[in-house]
Chains A and B, each alone.
Chain A
Amino acid sequence: MQTPTSSNIDHDCGKFITLPQEEILIAKREYWLLMLFPIAFSLLFSLVLLAVGTIIFLLGLHSFPLFLASILVILNATIGIVGRIFIHWYFHIYIVTTRKLLEVTYSPLDTLMENEVLLDQVRCTEVDMKRGGIFHELFNFGTIRITFDRPTHQQEFVLSNIHKHRQVGILLSRILVGFEAVGFTNPIQYYAANQLSRRMGAT
């Protein structure tokens, strides 16, 4: 079994208490770049609001107190929203140990979700990796979807937007399926019919 590498464990994911002989293999968050999009959108939107506030209160109503108040409120709101986006990203962690898969989502005043799959109670049937779009391609991240054969309603465990998801997926398939089943390591070779018969004849 592959040993955990530093790229598979984010060191700021927290301190974990594990059972005896339990080893943490993967501890990851979603790729940080994804957090920048809503933050950039919030900043842009607040800039637009600031411009609108300036036009209405300073140029339209000629009221400096209202202009100042609007700036303070918009800055307050923007800081609050950006802080919330960061906290939501920071407290969404995927952890894989030799005994279980765990997804922790924590959003203060809102959500605490712990999704846990005990690996000795289930049989993994599929480890699918998906990378969709040019942005995923450029920054090398994607989604890993693990399907279990288990008597529960939730049949899939999804690790969304993981950086270097192929490495993580290959490691997961080694852990869960028990062999190097991912196509990237064992390529399928295709031959034209005439080449195939030639090869078959040679062997």
Chain B
Amino acid sequence: MNFITIVLLFFFFVVSVFFLLYGYLHIRELKRAKNDLGLALPEKAKTILMIALWFSFFSVGVLLFLLVTTLLLGKH
């Protein structure tokens, strides 16, 4: 049961990190597109994307916390 929990938490953590990186790279590319192509998202959309990126960052932190606490509690 504990082993399954740890494996699943680790899997969720990896997936979250992937989405965090994906979002970050997207926003970085969009900044480049603004310079190269002259295409830019509207301010509202940029704000929403930044909130989504911060949410992604937050969820990675929560998942890391859950993973670490489960690992530590599993030893006792």
The distance from the CB of B72 to the nearest CB of chain A, in whole angstroms, is: 12
Is the beta-carbon distance between A12 and B29 smaller than 8 angstroms? no
Chain A residues in 8 Å Cβ range of B13: 69
Number of interface residues of B (CB under 8 A): 36
**Residues 18-53 of B contacting A (Cβ, < 8 Å):** 19-20, 22-23, 25-26, 29-30, 33, 37-42, 45, 48-49, 52
- A84 contact set on B, CB distance < 8 A: 26
CB pair B55 A76 closer than 8 Å: yes
In the complex, what residues of A have CB within 8 A of residue B5's CB? 61, 63, 65-66
**How many residue pairs between the two chains, A and B, have CB atoms under 8 Å in the bound complex?**
92
In the complex, A87→B42 CA distance in Å?
Answer: 11
* Minimum CB–CB distance for A86 against chain B, Å: 7
- How far apart are the CA atoms of A53 and B1 in the complex, in Å? 17
- A187 CB to closest chain B CB (Å) equals 41
Instruction: Check if A106 sits within 8 Å of B39, measured CB to CB.
Output: yes
Residue of A nearest to B41 (CB): A90
* Contact between A69 and B66, CB atoms less than 8 A apart: yes
Q: Is the CB of A106 within 8 A of B9?
A: no
Q: Which of the residues A61, A69, A87 comes within 8 Å of B26, measured between beta carbons?
A: A87
- Interface range for A: 20 to 34
What's the nearest-Cβ distance from chain B to residue A126, in Å? 30
- Among candidates B15, B25, B39, B49, residue contacting A91 with C-beta atoms closer than 8 Å: B39
Decide if B29 touches A109 in the complex (CB within 8 Å).
Answer: yes
Cβ of B55 and Cβ of A69 under 8 Å apart? no
Chain B hits for A199, CB < 8 A: none
B20 surroundings in chain A (CB, below 8 A): 76
- Over the window 55-76 of chain A, the binary record of Cβ atoms lying under 8 Å from chain B Cβ atoms (1 yes, 0 no) is 0000001010110111011011
CB of B66 within 8 A of CB of A83, answer no
Complex Cα gap A157–B46 (Å): 31
Chain B residue contacts of A104, Cβ below 8 A: 37, 39
Within 8 Å of chain B (Cβ to Cβ): is A79?
A: yes
A86 touches B59 (CB 8 A): no
Q: Are B41 and A87 in contact (CB under 8 A)?
A: yes
- The answer to whether residues A76 and B70 also contact, given A15-B38, A63-B5 and a CB cut-off of 8 A, is no
For the complex of A and B, 7 pairs with smallest distance between CB atoms? A108-B29, A72-B59, A69-B12, A76-B19, A79-B52, A65-B66, A73-B12
Q: Write the residues of chain A forming the contact surface with B, with a CB cutoff of 8 angstroms.
A: 12, 14-17, 61, 63, 65-66, 68-70, 72-73, 75-77, 79-80, 83-84, 86-87, 90-91, 93, 104, 106, 108-109, 112
